[in-house]
Chain A
Amino acid sequence: MHDGHSANGHDAASVSRGLLDRHRAAPIARRIAALTAGVLFLLGIAGFVIKLLDKGTSDPSAWGYYAALVSFLLTAAGGAVMVAIATRLAKAHWRRPISRASEMFAVVTLYTFALLIPLLFALPSLSDHRRSLWFFGELNVPGYMPHIMTTLSFFFLALAGLALLWMSALPDLASLRDSSWGLTGLFNRLSNTWQGTSRQWFVQYHRLGILGALYFMMLVTTHFLFSMDFAMALVPGWIDALFPATHAHNSLHAGAALMLVTMFVLRRFGGYGDYIGLDQFWGLGKLMFALSLLWFWFWFSSFIIFWYGAKPNEQAVLELLMVGPYLPIFMAAFILNFLVPLFTMIWNPLRKSVWGPTIIACGVLLGTFFDRVRLYAASWSVAAADDKHTLREVPAAIMPDVADVMMWVGGLAGAVLVYILAARVIPIISVWEQKELLLYRMHKPFHRLAEVLVLGKKD
């Protein structure tokens, strides 16, 4: 039997001190990044104003790229939080250095919620006779049911994410409260009465589990509603029962990719190389690879039904979303989300590296971006029609204008900005989870092996 705490020769206090010191430091690179993101965000706002003045909100086809932006942020940032939730549920020790960085994406979801609000004005009401999840016409529901339900769902998703982030950060916020760094009033308020009693720790794990489950349910619900009402319902004859699940899967996929890129940035530029190492890239890289294979499966499961059934409405949907005007962009998504990971991540040397999964993750994020554009730009370009059973005429591809590009750049920059600002307040590495690891991890000799890793399992 071994004493995990002392056998490692590590000191919890030094871990705590080291991480909190690093949190307090404000490197110039971070300031420059925040400033640049801020400027680009202003550019995005300018793009939004131009678009609004130029096109108004009556023509949905003008807002397809903006819808794609909201969808992309929901997909990537919303899914990134799941990395912490899933790995904590699986009791994987390698999650510890990255769980906070993952939960921190909840602030980006809140930001995405803010971006959703203008989009609600461009989304047509149900009174245009389109097919609806809400049985408008059959049941006595308001025409703005999609707007109401998606907003509520999005809001509760952001709320669940923030609650998770806050609860998870509670012990670290208390450490900051007790240090003399400043912002004491804020940390006092945020850390509430956390003292680290046995009961508080007992409750901590339970509430993280419950909030994680709640977040996951809200994520799935939000993807269900958003993919239905902001994409599928706009296209007559598009009946794909799998699409909401595909949308949610894409979120987990892009979320894993986003976390890999974030980890790389934290390791390379954030000074956390001694915490975020190969274990994390390997663990998450495998997960992303598995999700890339599932990307194909989800896509093919829908595609083969439409291709084989070949009913007029199914052929029209395939034409609109895949083989017609958006074929090049669909192919780009297919290659980056599936083919590239398949043919690269099977190689051990690449999979077991820091740079390999990161590069593939960049590709996956780009692929997800293309995928969202082809889905949303296409569906928002369909004009309202009385026939809700079949799309009679496939519209030409909508090309982004300058305002769209500005909104995309500014929208993404805004996400980066809120993330950096949140990381200024909340430590990006979970200090208490790192300290807890010291209790459950040790190295020891094993017969002729100088050192083996022994990992304990929490109840």
Chain B
Amino acid sequence: MSQRSVIGLFTDEDAAADALDTVRSAGFEQSEYEILTGTPYPEGAFGEEEPVHKLYRFPLIGAACGFIVGLLLTAGTQLAFPLVAGGKPLLSIPPMAIIMYEGTMLGAILFTVFGIVFESRLPRLFMGAYDTRITEGYIGLAITTSEDKTGRAEETLKGAGALEVKRGWES
């Protein structure tokens, strides 16, 4: 069944927090509602659940991959072309360490950025219910739910004091 989203707009933080309570008590699941803001607020300012993420694993995996690639590159090229240059022995650790270090850091950074995008649940192809005024200070409370519950979601948001309630397609 297709999902449909509804958004209620608020200008006051406490009103948005109260509306979130109302939505919760109306039986909507945590996965169905989201607060949308144009600026970061301290975590839990609206009484929302703390998002859980695993971003910290990404740089570690990336660093390990980068280290291995760096090792293979530095050791492999020296073994493949075993020419002593400048009196530096083959498999010299100090220069290898420099390139392996850069490889490690590059791997960690690439994986971190990938992790940020992935954990942020981006890219998002369908915006769902949204209002451009959110980026100028309005607070949105979006409910994404099955089509048959959309009406109830709209009613709940209106009842919670939303200044305006809008619909948008999800998928």
Contacts and interface: CB of A to CB of B under 8 A. Distances in A.
A and B touch in the complex (CB under 8 A): yes
Given A447-B13, A447-B14, 12 more contacts: A304-B98, A307-B94, A308-B94, A310-B87, A446-B42, A447-B17, A447-B41, A448-B17, A448-B44, A448-B45, A449-B42, A449-B45
B56 A452 contact: no
12 contacts: A300-B94, A307-B94, A310-B87, A446-B42, A446-B45, A447-B13, A447-B17, A447-B41, A447-B45, A448-B44, A449-B45, A452-B42
Q: How large is the interface on A (under 10, 10 to 19, 20 to 34, 35 or more residues)?
A: 10 to 19
Interface of A: 300, 303-304, 307-308, 310, 348, 446-449, 452
Contacts of A448: 17, 44-47
Interface string B22-62: 00000000000000000001101111000000001000000
Contacts of A447: 13-14, 17, 41, 45-47
Contacts of B14: 447
A446 B17 CA distance: 11
A448 B42 CA distance: 10
Contacts of B41: 447
Contacts of A307: 94
B8 to A, nearest CB: 17
A168 B13 CA distance: 44
B96 to A, nearest CB: 12
Interface hub of A307, A308, A446, A448 (most chain B Cβ within 10 A): A448
Contacts of B88: 308
Given A348-B56, A446-B42, A304 B47 contact: no
A322 to B, nearest CB: 12
B94 A449 contact: no
B59 to A, nearest CB: 9
Contacts of A303: 94
Nearest to A452: B42
B63 to A, nearest CB: 10
Contacts of B42: 446, 449, 452
Top 10 A-B pairs, shortest CB-CB distance: A448-B47, A447-B45, A448-B17, A447-B13, A449-B44, A307-B94, A447-B17, A304-B94, A449-B45, A448-B46
A446 B44 CA distance: 9
Nearest to B60: A346
Interface in B70-93: 87-88
A304 to B, nearest CB: 6
Nearest to B86: A308
Contacts of A300: 94
A310 B47 CA distance: 64
A450 B87 CA distance: 67
Contacts of A452: 42
Nearest to B45: A447
A448 B44 CA distance: 7
A452 B98 CA distance: 44
Nearest to B63: A346
A343 to B, nearest CB: 11
Contacts of B13: 447
B23 to A, nearest CB: 14
